[in-house]
Amino acid sequence: MKHLIAPSILAANFAHLQHDIEMINQSEADWIHVDIMDGMFVPNISFGFPVVEAVNRYATKPLDVHLMIVDPDRYLKAFANAGASIITVHIEACTHLHRTVQAIKELGCKAGVALNPHTPVSLLEDIIADLDLVLIMSVNPGFGGQKFIHNTYKKIAQVKALADASNPSLYIEVDGGVNLQNTPQLVAAGANALVAGNFVFTSEHPIDTIAQMKAASPVLSA
């Protein structure tokens, strides 16, 4: 599968959100990544349902909703109603993860589970077969524009090994500090969906930047 690109609108210009959504629509991006932060699970607050609904009104690509919130079960239905196609919850925020994953699927959405940088991949062993997506955080969640954490490559390879054994169609997504420099190595490690916020939106020609990320070929590290 050719890797997917999911620009994160956390780095968009919120005063011109329609413009930025239309840019993504016209680009080779595959999904629109939507970061929801509650000021509890992460030390930052992003935006809520009215903004997600507004994005969905203009978006022609699936909304990939990343919930960085405590007790996400409370809001799954509301995000599905707001237009989410994929709902990803954090493993660190879920006591009954299996139940949460089933609830996401019953809403007709794809179900994802995200892991913070310190959370071991081995925790996914008994849930991976039920998932559509695993999101590996390559920064500590809460803010865009942070530095990529190198241990991520190892974790992607571990997820890929689990997926090859029990869920070959799994999306393996990486989020945080992704750019054109690390894209080839991320794809080589097994990532097949890349989130990019600042790298896309601070570039001079975001549409070209997305096309370059999409066209990048995997390279094996030296």
**193 near ligand DX5 (CB under 6 A):** no
User: Which residues, other chains included, contact 20 with Cβ-Cβ below 8 Å and sequence gap of 6+?
Assistant: 9, 12, 13, 201
Of residues 115, 8, 133, the one with CA closest to residue 63:
8
Nearest approach, Cβ of residue 220 and ligand DX5 (Å): 24
Q: Which of 72/177 has CB closer to ligand DX5?
A: 177
Shortest distance, position 175 Cβ to ligand DX5, whole Å: 5
Give yes or no for a contact between 11 and 34, defined as CB atoms under 8 angstroms apart: no
* CB neighbourhood size of 190 (10 A): 22
Q: Kindly tell me which of 108 and 212 has the beta carbon lying closer to ligand DX5.
A: 212
The single residue among 66, 90, 155, 160 that binds ligand DX5, judged by CB under 6 A, is: 66
Burial (Cβ within 10 Å: 0-12, 13-18, ≥19) of residue 13: exposed
- Asked if 196 is part of the footprint of ligand DX5 (rule: CB under 6 A), the reply reads yes
Q: Is 35 in the active site?
A: yes
Q: Taking CB under 6 A as the criterion, which residues in 134-153 touch ligand DX5?
A: 139, 141-146
Q: Which of 30, 64, 132, 175 is the binder for Zn ion (CB under 5 A)?
A: 175
Helix H segments across 61-142? 76-82, 97-106
Residue with CB nearest ligand DX5? 197
Q: Give the shortest CB-66-to-ligand DX5 separation in angstroms.
A: 5
Bridging pattern class, strands 110-115 and 84-90: parallel
The residue ranges that bind Zn ion (CB under 5 A) are: 35, 66, 175
